[in-house]
Amino acid sequence: MKFKPGIESLETDNVNVSHSSPVREFVTLLLGAFGILALIYAVSGLLIDKAVDWIDPKTEKALFSDLYNAFDDAESQTDASVTLQRLVDDLQQCLDPGYEITVNLTEDSSPNAFALPGGKMVVTQGLLDLVSSENGLAFVLAHELAHFANRDHLRGIGRGIVLAAMSAAVLGSDSGLDAIFAPASLAGQARFSRSRESQADQRALMALNCHYAHIGGATEFFEGLKRRGDAGDTAGTISHYFASHPDAQSRVDALSALGGDSGFAQGALRELPEALQ
């Protein structure tokens, strides 16, 4: 047998590899995957909203009651928590969330308040330290009441579960893809969350006006945050898109604008009850 090597074809026609651009392939696939996931997320969001309307507060309380066995209300009742509870009960005459709300005070020093499923509201000591008047505190409490009334806590949890399930089941945690999808999904969730926060702010403002007949102190909490520099410095940077709450300054602006439009008056602030100082 005579061998004749065909060396000229070695460089030019390699049939074993694709010659299209790998970057283009990558970008196409990435956009496709994003598109599909965004669609799933949007559809699940709508389904969650439907489901939330369907779950009444009573069922919700029954579903989540096991969560709170760790809290023992009777033992943790102090003057402060009783006073807080009374303030929340009073506010409910202006903003009825359709729940029986129980308030818990935690020692946490970061100023915050949460609406948890089943009608549990958690207020941190840091929040009490930050606000200087009862009106300022009442606005934050009314804001959480508005979350209950709007069922935002359920919507948030529902979307969180969808996101977690999507990144775990569809992508797998070992592919390296979760690194890119996780921040993107956070941004999506944050945008949703920010719009809910703004709605809650509006309802809280109305409740404040109803309770005190003026809206003085509404921006106190956000002004306090700004002074601390916790939330005000994110404006204009990319991290703004990942923030679950609008930044403090834009909330102050929005509240002032809304207060002006609705013709709400400013008035004298009440001092914080002694038990909460």
Partner 1 sequence: MYQLAVFCVLLALGYGFGRFAETRHYQSITRREKLFAELPTLSLRSAGEDEEAVFKTQFVSANVVISVDYFKRVAAALRGFFGGNVQAYESLVDRARREAVLRVKESCPGASHILNVRIETSSIHKGRGNGVGSVEVFAYGTAVYNAPD
Q: Which residues bind partner 1 (CB under 8 A)?
A: 1, 3, 5, 7, 10-11, 14, 16-18, 20, 22-23, 25-26, 29-30, 32-33, 170-172, 174-177, 179-180, 182-184, 238-239, 242
Residue 236 C-beta: closest distance to partner 1, Å? 15
Least distance (Å) from partner 1 to the CB of residue 22? 6
- Cβ proximity to partner 1: between 107 and 174 the closer is 174
Token digits of residue 110: 């970061």
In the complex with partner 1, which residue's Cβ is closer, 2 or 50?
2
Considering the complex, what minimum distance in angstroms separates the CB of residue 30 from partner 1? Answer: 6
Query: Which residue lies nearer to partner 1 by CB, 35 or 256?
Result: 35
Q: How far is the CB of 53 from partner 1 (least distance, A)?
A: 33
Nearer to partner 1, 150 or 167 (CB): 167
Contact 44, 162 (CB under 8 A): yes
In the complex, the smallest distance separating the C-beta of residue 189 from partner 1, rounded to whole angstroms, is 14
What minimum distance in Å lies between the beta carbon of 14 and partner 1?
Answer: 7
Nearest to 123 by CA among 82, 161, 160, 90: 82
Output 118 or 188, the one with its CB closest to partner 1: 188
For partner 1, which is the closer residue by CB, 18 or 69? 18
To partner 1, the closest distance from the beta carbon of 172 in angstroms equals: 8
Nearer to partner 1, 25 or 271 (CB): 25
**Sequential DSSP letters for the chain:** ------TTHHHH--TTS--S-HHHHHHHHHHHHHHHHHHHHHHHHHHHHHHHHHS-HHHHHHHHGGGGGG--HHHH--HHHHHHHHHHHHHTTTS--SS--EEEEE---S--EEEETTTEEEEEHHHHHH--BHHHHHHHHHHHHHHHHHTHHHHHHHHHHHHHHIIIIII-TTSSTHHHHHHHHHHHHHHHHHHHHHHHHHHHHHHHHHHHSS-TTTTHHHHHHHHHTSSGGGTTSGGGGG-SS--HHHHHHHHHHHHHHHTPPP-PPPBPPGGG-
